[in-house]
Amino acid sequence: MLEKVPLLEKHLDDYVGIVGDEVCERIRAAAAPLQGARVLHLSATAYGGGVAELLATHVPLLRSVGVDAEWHVLRGSDEFFGVTKEVHNGLQGAPVEMTPAMRKVYLERVLDNALALERGWDYIVVHDPQPAAILHHVADRHDAFADTKWIWRCHIDLTDARPEVWEFFRPFVEQYDASVWTMPEFVPASLTMDRIVQAPPCIDPLSVKNLDLAMPFATEITRQYGLDPQRPIVCQVSRFDPWKDPIGVIEAYRIARDEVPGAQLLLAGSMATDDPEGFRVWEEVEAARAGDPDIRLLSNLHQVGAVQINAFQRIADVVVQKSLREGFGLTVSEALWKGRPVIGGRAGGITLQIRDGVDGYLVDDVATCARRIVDLLADPGGADRMGEIGREHVRANFLATRELTDWLGLMGDLNG
């Protein structure tokens, strides 16, 4: 049996005050035909990335409406996760060669996991490339999975995927009953499936990271981590990944600081078990920081968790998410939900969340990012108004109840 992730309980009724009775009643109606259905979500890691954050809310909410849902994670290895990180980069456009040795490592490890997969599921949702071939490996166990509906959820941006990497995965994906994507633009033209669904991710307004936090408390947490709440703070929260362009953020900050003396930069994120590249990127960012006392690098290795990230996003004058490639970027909606304007790279799902000039700015380069940082720091009132508009945009489009509705609808359609 694969490792089951323990989860806290969540209750749909608790969301009524945020999204309203009508939304919650629609969810209960959609869940009615699925009472007792067994649903398995399978991912690579239980913490450290957006998929883990999504499932920590989504699976308990499925349970709260009568679906028997569980979340399991792969049994990986350093070698396997090294390969899948290369795959991830290749699918986002990096010059990666899918060598025979990489294919062997990947397929053998997924086979090990397939042999440990228990039977009896009505739906199995497989997240991202790491476990994508698992359906291929259980295809000959037809008696065990004859009635199971399989869904592949792709969270990453495949608009510029390396053809040789994507073509390795495409036959595995096409075995699924449905695939779910953040944006239609992410779907490769070569993919042949009857059911391709668009459903952007969402944030949980009642998670520890997004709950209301008293500003004096947020201020004190910020001070404890070496920042001065009395001076302007620019903040990016993300994994230490080259696609998040943390070095570009440092360059933009330094340009902006020439016009806004005293501004500080915080780069905060987490190290994930399925991302061996993170420590190398951390070292590169530390080198780019060059000992600058006004640039702070923090991670879960510094006891930075959900409460601290909540505080940093609330106290920041400007939040940045300068991604070069982005599946969605939950941190954008997180910051908007807290009423902060966001400057985001014009990449992937960020463009769904930020309406340029309305609740933040979309940027294409370091110079523009720097200019927008200066614009927002120069007009705190305007920045606050942008943030409040963004909060309502998130309420209407990117809260966990909307994602729950999407998934219940898809499972109901597959069952029909």
Question: Is there a single domain that holds both residue 185 and residue 258?
Answer: no
Distance in angstroms (rounded) separating the CA atoms of residues 115 and 5? 19
Question: Is there a single domain that holds both residue 247 and residue 364?
Answer: yes
Question: Is there a single domain that holds both residue 178 and residue 306?
Answer: no
Question: Is there a single domain that holds both residue 181 and residue 271?
Answer: no
Assess whether pLDDT exceeds 90 at residue 20. Answer: yes
Question: Is there a single domain that holds both residue 51 and residue 154?
Answer: yes
Question: Is there a single domain that holds both residue 174 and residue 197?
Answer: yes
| 88 domain residue, yes or no | yes
What average pLDDT does the segment 91-117 reach? 94
Q: Where in the sequence is the domain holding 275, given as residue range(s)? A: 215-397
| 208 domain residue, yes or no | no
Question: Is there a single domain that holds both residue 25 and residue 138?
Answer: yes
| 209 domain residue, yes or no | no
| Average pLDDT over the chain, rounded to an integer | 94
Assess whether pLDDT exceeds 70 at residue 95. Answer: yes
Q: What is the pLDDT of residue 15?
A: 98
Assess whether pLDDT exceeds 70 at residue 273. Answer: no
Crossing angle for the helix pair 100-115 and 78-91, to the nearest 10 degrees = 120
Assess whether pLDDT exceeds 70 at residue 119. Answer: yes
For 368-399, the pLDDT digits (tens) are 999 999 999 999 999 999 999 999 999 999 99
Question: Is there a single domain that holds both residue 273 and residue 147?
Answer: no
Q: What is the pLDDT of residue 274?
A: 61
| 241 domain residue, yes or no | yes
What average pLDDT does the segment 39-49 reach? 88
Assess whether pLDDT exceeds 90 at residue 141. Answer: no
Q: What is the pLDDT of residue 146?
A: 84
Question: Is there a single domain that holds both residue 174 and residue 280?
Answer: no
For 297-315, the pLDDT digits (tens) are 998 788 889 999 999 999 9
For 184-203, the pLDDT digits (tens) are 999 999 999 999 999 999 99
Give 272's pLDDT tier (boundaries 50, 70, 90).
Answer: low
Distance in angstroms (rounded) separating the CA atoms of residues 406 and 267? 33
| Residue among 369, 405, 104 nearest 255 (CA) | 369
- Among 61-65, 93-97, 189-193, whose mean pLDDT is lowest? 93-97
What average pLDDT does the segment 386-415 reach? 97
Judge contact between 18 and 391, C-beta under 8 A: no
Question: Is there a single domain that holds both residue 239 and residue 190?
Answer: no
Q: What is the pLDDT of residue 370?
A: 98
Give the chain's domain count. Answer: 2
Distance in angstroms (rounded) separating the CA atoms of residues 334 and 306? 11
Return the CATH number at 49. Answer: 3.40.50.2000
Q: Which residues contact 8 (CB under 8 A, 6 or more apart)?
A: 56, 60
| 149 domain residue, yes or no | yes
Question: Is there a single domain that holds both residue 264 and residue 360?
Answer: yes
SS3 per residue for the chain: CCEECCCCCCCHHHHHHHHCHHHHHHHHHHHHHHCCCEEEEEECCCCCCHHHHHHHHHHHHHHHCCCEEEEEECCCCHHHHHHHHHHHHHHCCCCCCCCHHHHHHHHHHHHHHHHCCCCCCCEEEEECCCCCCHHHHHCCCHHHHCCCEEEEEECCCCCCCCHHHHHHHHHHHCCCCEEEECCHHHCCCCCCCCCEEECCCCECCCCCCCCCCCHHHHHHHHHHCCCCCCCCEEEEECCCCHHHCHHHHHHHHHHHHHHCCCCEEEEEECCCCCCCCHHHHHHHHHHHHCCCCCEEEEEHHHCCCHHHHHHHHHHCCEEEECCCCCCCCHHHHHHHHCCCCEEEECCCCHHHHCCECCCEEEECCHHHHHHHHHHHHHCHHHHHHHHHHHHHHHHHHCEHHHHHHHHHHHHHHHHC
Q: Which residues contact 172 (CB under 8 A, 6 or more apart)?
A: 132, 133, 135, 136
Task: Give how far the C-alpha of residue 224 lies from the chain's centroid of Cα atoms, to the nearest Å.
Answer: 27
The count of other CB atoms within 10 Å of the CB of residue 313 is 26
For 223-253, the pLDDT digits (tens) are 999 999 999 999 999 989 999 999 999 999 9
Question: Is there a single domain that holds both residue 158 and residue 106?
Answer: yes
For 305-363, the pLDDT digits (tens) are 999 999 999 999 999 999 999 999 999 999 999 999 999 999 999 999 999 999 999 99
Q: Is the pTM of this model over 0.85?
A: yes
Q: What is the pLDDT of residue 301?
A: 80
Work out the angle at residue 375's Cα, subtended by the Cα atoms of residues 370 and 381, and round it to the nearest 5 degrees.
145
Q: What is the pLDDT of residue 142?
A: 61
> 87-116 burial by CB neighbour count: b if 16+ within 10 A, else e?
bbbbbbbbebebeeebeebbbebbeebbee
Distance in angstroms (rounded) separating the CA atoms of residues 193 and 175? 8
